[in-house]
Amino acid sequence: MNLKKLAADRAVEWIEDGMTVGLGTGSTAYWAIHRIAERVKEGLNIRAAASSIRSEQLARELGIPFVSLDDIDRIDLTIDGADEADDRLNLIKGGGGALLREKILAAASDRFIVIVDESKRVRTLGAFPLPVEIVPFGSRLTLNRLTALGGNPVVRTSDDGSRYVTDNGNWIADCRFGSIEDPERLQALLNEIPGVVDNGLFVGMASAVVIGKSDGSVEIMEP
């Protein structure tokens, strides 16, 4: 049973005719994009914006109509995955490398629906390394500041061993802070560091977390 697909199919039910929909990035958002495309073929009338080049390419290939972010003021609903979600609906995102664009879309959305399988639900964030997007210029200085915060940063590489570069031309430092008891404070401290573009903590942004469970059910957590 594909738990990610289970959660994605349930989340897509919230999409209605006439909506502008934000599309996330990653293995779970992949299933949501496929289900949205099926509904478009069934007659659903929407327009979409994506948080990454690869999600946009997939959606266009599947026939989902697109709109430029420069042509809209708000997004009705964004569906995206997460690497971790706690019971307060705080998230770690960015495993797919698109955290900045994902956060821009989420912040512009009336509703931000997060889809995960049950393995991603945690009591406290932090088992998954926290992605932090940094600019290449002065990266050693930025990494030193992340180290001083206790993050033990490791600059992400691609499968071929080359430096991973985001769609924005930046790097990702994956940080291990351990148990993150106060994600709001850590988020603020990280974003005060010159050279940090943004980080993968999504605090107080999710409208709902949809969880695909191994027994075939779907759990929905809301604030």
Which runs of consecutive H residues, i.e. helices, occur in the chain? 3-12, 27-41, 53-61, 99-107, 139-148, 183-191
Active-site positions?
102
Task: Report which of 40, 49, 45, 46 is spatially closest to residue 68, judged by C-alpha positions.
Answer: 49
Who contacts 214 (Cβ-Cβ below 8 Å, separation ≥6)?
Answer: 1, 3, 118
Residues in the chain: 223
Question: If 0-12 CB within 10 Å is exposed, 13-18 middle and 19+ buried, where does residue 217 land?
Answer: exposed
First-residue to last-residue Cα distance in the chain: 28
Who contacts 36 (Cβ-Cβ below 8 Å, separation ≥6)?
Answer: 12, 15, 21, 23, 44, 46, 48, 59, 64, 79
Beta carbons of 77 and 14 less than 8 angstroms apart: yes
Measured in whole angstroms, the distance separating CA 84 from the mean position of its chain's CA atoms is: 10
